[in-house]
Amino acid sequence: MKLAEDLTEIQLRKIRYVIGDAFVSNELFHEFGSIEERRQLVLKYMAAYVDHVYETSSLYMTDDGLGYIGLQYSGDIFALSQMKMLWRIFLRLPFCKLKNMLRHIKQIADENWKYAQKPHIDMLMVAVEKRAQGKGYATKLVSFAQDMAKKKGVPLLADTDMKSYAEMYQYLGFELYNTKTASNGVTRYNLVWKP
């Protein structure tokens, strides 16, 4: 595992695609249409998110470049990068679709207050290239995050909108401590792993 740094634009473009493609089926984006209808919008949204994670030195990757994880320590402040990310998203996505999605995100956001008020590490995303899926990469990435949390002596927080991912995290030792469903039917699962 290594910090993703000094990447070329070609490498970064590939990572944006892999991570974006991994999120196309995410429940959060179902208002964008069917999988095929939303693919380009999700790729644009996630490209802005990946840029933010990369620019804040929060993107890690497997040595062979087939798996990626975003990890941010709560003590780090990235306000400027977050503003840039939001600006990129507003420029890339249709306002009406974005407005609906943000309204529903607001309904399920900040439900991790129980742990987020104290020092912690946020697991922002986990993505594995399709050709490497089912080969233990996600487990390696999550184990890396758990080791980082253990070294810092803080909990590791994960939020997901996919029940199957919540179940996978629980299998890897996380505790599901909260769920909340937005008016559009999307459920946010808040999980914690304690060292």
Does the pTM surpass 0.85? The reply is no
Whether residue 180 contacts residue 187, with contact meaning beta carbons closer than 8 Å, is answered with yes
166 band by pLDDT with thresholds 50, 70 and 90 = very high
H helix count then E strand count, the chain: 7, 7
2-193 fold: Aminopeptidase (3.40.630)
Percent of the chain with pLDDT over 70: 82
pLDDT of the residue at 105: 59
The domain spans of the chain are 2-193
DSSP state letter for 4: -
Lowest mean pLDDT among 42-46, 88-92, 141-145: 88-92
What rounded mean pLDDT belongs to the chain?
Answer: 86
Look at residue 41 in the predicted model and tell me its pLDDT.
84
pLDDT tens across 87-110, in order?
676 667 667 666 666 665 565 566
Cα(38)–Cα(47) distance, rounded to whole angstroms? 14
Q: What is the mean pLDDT of residues 41-53?
A: 88
Burial of 102 (0-12, 13-18, 19+ CB in 10 A): middle
**pLDDT tens track for 15-31:** 999 999 998 888 777 77
State residue 181's pLDDT score: 81
